[in-house]
């Protein structure tokens, strides 16, 4: 991929990702439950034309289950990263424009949240909120806004000193107007890059927490659940039940991560010319 | 009815030296004065103080006897030396103008602002073209006092004359107070009734007609 410039790479990645995400999402949402219903006659089958990913110990088709699981994981991941990006923008702006003590308190909280390992925090929060989707969402969102909030804070601090903002004030515009018209539009790219960069984290956290049994309930075929079930049967030689869902998860995460990284570099003026 | 600097002193921080000390200045509506000094004597600083962009360390800036209003359109508008800094780079120029108030076709025409420019972004115009937008925006805001901080140093003679003609016309018509900050003695003589030399802290001898 070295031969293509960054913009081409981003467009290519974004297109690939869009197709893949949309495909997975649509298929996942459209799959009827019957497609991955248990069927003891087809239990523990290795990959074949009828079941490309094989079947699990209950005879459920693993391709369908994986797609459904990815679709759920992606919904959780998207929702969690969107919430955390919104938190980051609000907190970042509050820190940059609020009183000194507000900034100090926010910085203190950021240090605190960043100091504790995410997985432990997410487990604690989602456990305290009674597991399930809601706890998981809040747990992931509450732990992933920190670095974006820092970035936004710095950006707003710099913007606040721009001459055109001072001019706007002298032309009679209030703080709310300036925030909506001068500041927020400037933060849109950061918001989306932050969201995209958080997305793979969110999916991985969802998968790992569910895998550990603290996240989504077992009846939802999230990727973490599929992987954790497949672990039980790995020793019996059912390699396919872990390998295919795992690979698809990793592929998704890598793609999104790569896209976010390239976008970030395009927006970063020091490497934008590459 | 006047804009006054009453015994103002200013330094950018405690550690830095005074830029201005015990400075007095008064400008009535309808009056035009030029501020003249070599580089680094605090012309821009004084201009920013008078328009409320900076607060004096000591002393006061008064408009008709009261401090400058903190909210609403400020009756004292400053035009900066570098127009590209005074304009949001992400906005089309139509939006930039509308921030100042309702578009006035007569001002656009007087400045020779071509209508297609309104749909462009600031980086797609030259410095001189941008400066016309900054002046137009300030005029459309309905200001009573206009402070021009070396607004035409980067412009060619013809453009310079055009811009100043519009400003002088408008100032006369609306009975505005005008301060022109400049390095250029000829320009100072042409646009202003009196000239204050900040480096010698005196009204210019040649043109002095009141202090
Ligand atoms: N933001 C700032 N922080 C600290 N010092 C400053 C700042 N702006 C200006 N100064 C200092 O204040 C002094 C006066 O600067 P000012 O810009 O007012 O001069 P000027 O007369 O407008 O010069 P010029 O003709 O070059 O525009 C200078 O010594 C400058 O170094
Ligand atoms: Mg200056």
Tally the domains of chain A: 1
Does B55 contact A at CB distance below 8 Å?
no
* pLDDT surpassing 80 at residue B12: yes
Q: Would B6 be classed as within a structural domain?
A: no
pLDDT tens per residue, range A211-265: 888 878 877 777 887 887 777 777 777 778 788 888 888 888 888 888 888 888 8
Q: Would B111 be classed as within a structural domain?
A: yes
Q: Would A69 be classed as within a structural domain?
A: yes
Chain A interface, mutation test: which of B50, B74, B76, B88, most A Cβ atoms within 10 Å? B88
- Distance, CA of B72 to CA of B51 (rounded, Å): 13
Vertex A270: Cα angle to A266 and A273 (nearest 5): 55
- CA–centroid distance, B12 to ligand 1, in Å, is 9
Give the residue numbers spanning the domain of B166.
Answer: 29-53+73-204
Does A99 contact B at CB distance below 8 Å?
no
* CATH code at position B106: 3.40.50.300
Q: Would B21 be classed as within a structural domain?
A: no
Question: Ligand 1: which atom is nearest the Cα of residue B48?
Answer: 18
* pLDDT surpassing 80 at residue A16: yes
Q: Would A63 be classed as within a structural domain?
A: yes
* CATH code at position A24: 1.10.3720.10
Structure confidence at residue A2 as a pLDDT band (50, 70, 90)? low
- Minimal-distance CA residue to ligand 1 atom 18: B42
pTM summary value: 0.81
Please check whether residue B103 is in contact with residue B140, taking contact to mean a CB–CB distance below 8 angstroms: yes
Range list of H helices, A31-131: 62-97, 100-115, 118-128
Q: Would B10 be classed as within a structural domain?
A: no
ipTM of the complex: 0.91
- Residue A93, pLDDT score: 95
Please check whether residue A177 is in contact with residue B84, taking contact to mean a CB–CB distance below 8 angstroms: no
Q: Would B63 be classed as within a structural domain?
A: no
Give the residue numbers spanning the domain of A101.
Answer: 6-32+58-271
**CB-ligand 1 contact for B44 (6 Å cutoff):** yes
**Residue to substitute in B17, B23, B42, B150 for testing ligand 1 pocket (most ligand atoms within 8 angstroms of CB):** B42
Tally the domains of chain B: 1
Does A163 contact B at CB distance below 8 Å?
yes
Positive or negative torsion for Cα B172, B174, B178, B182: negative
């Amino acid at each position: 991929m070295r031969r293509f410039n960054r913009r081409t790479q981003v467009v290519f990645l974004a297109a690939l990702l869009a197709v893949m995400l949309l495909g997975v999402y649509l298929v996942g949402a459209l799959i009827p439950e019957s497609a991955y219903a248990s069927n003891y006659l087809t239990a523990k089958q290795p990959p074949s034309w009828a079941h490309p990913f094989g079947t699990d110990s209950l005879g459920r088709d693993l391709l369908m289950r994986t797609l459904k699981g990815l679709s759920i994981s992606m919904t959780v991941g998207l929702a969690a990263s969107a919430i955390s990006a919104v938190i980051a923008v609000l907190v970042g702006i509050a820190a940059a424009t609020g009183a000194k003590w507000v900034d100090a308190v926010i910085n203190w909280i950021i240090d605190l949240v960043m100091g504790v390992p995410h997985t432990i925090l997410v487990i604690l929060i989602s456990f305290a909120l009674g597991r399930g989707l809601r706890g998981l969402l809040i747990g992931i969102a509450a732990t992933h806004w920190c670095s974006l909030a820092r970035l936004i804070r710095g950006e707003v601090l710099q913007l606040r000193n721009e001459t055109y903002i001072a001019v706007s004030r002298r032309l009679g515009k209030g703080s709310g107007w300036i925030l909506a018209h001068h500041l927020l539009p400037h933060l849109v790219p950061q918001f989306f890059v932050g969201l995209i960069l958080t997305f793979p984290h969110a999916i991985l956290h969802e998968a790992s927490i569910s895998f550990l049994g603290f996240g989504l309930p077992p009846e939802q075929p999230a990727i973490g659940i599929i992987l954790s079930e497949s672990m039980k049967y790995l020793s019996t030689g059912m390699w396919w039940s872990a390998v295919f869902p795992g690979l698809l998860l990793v592929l998704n995460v890598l793609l999104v991560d790569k896209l976010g990284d390239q976008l970030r570099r395009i927006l970063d003026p020091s490497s934008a010319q590459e | 009815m006047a804009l006054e600097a009453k015994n103002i002193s200013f330094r950018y921080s405690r550690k830095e030296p005074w830029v201005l000390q015990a400075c007095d200045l008064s400008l009535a509506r309808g009056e035009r004065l030029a501020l003249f000094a070599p580089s680094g004597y605090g012309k821009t600083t004084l201009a920013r103080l008078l328009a409320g962009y900076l607060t004096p360390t000591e002393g006061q800036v008064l408009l008709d006897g009261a401090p400058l209003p903190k909210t609403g359109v400020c009756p004292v508008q400053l035009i900066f030396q570098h127009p590209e800094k005074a304009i949001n780079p992400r906005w089309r120029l139509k939006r930039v103008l509308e921030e100042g108030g309702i578009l006035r076709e007569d001002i656009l025409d007087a400045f020779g602002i071509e209508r297609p420019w309104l749909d462009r972004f600031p980086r797609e115009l030259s410095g001189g073209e941008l400066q016309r937008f900054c002046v137009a925006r300030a005029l459309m805001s309905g200001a009573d006092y206009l402070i021009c901080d070396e607004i035409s140093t980067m412009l060619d003679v013809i453009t310079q004359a055009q811009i100043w003609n519009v400003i002088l016309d408008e100032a006369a018509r609306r009975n505005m107070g005008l301060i022109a900050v400049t390095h250029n003695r000829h320009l100072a003589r042409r646009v202003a009734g009196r000239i204050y030399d900040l480096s010698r802290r005196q009204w210019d001898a040649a043109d002095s007609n009141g202090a």
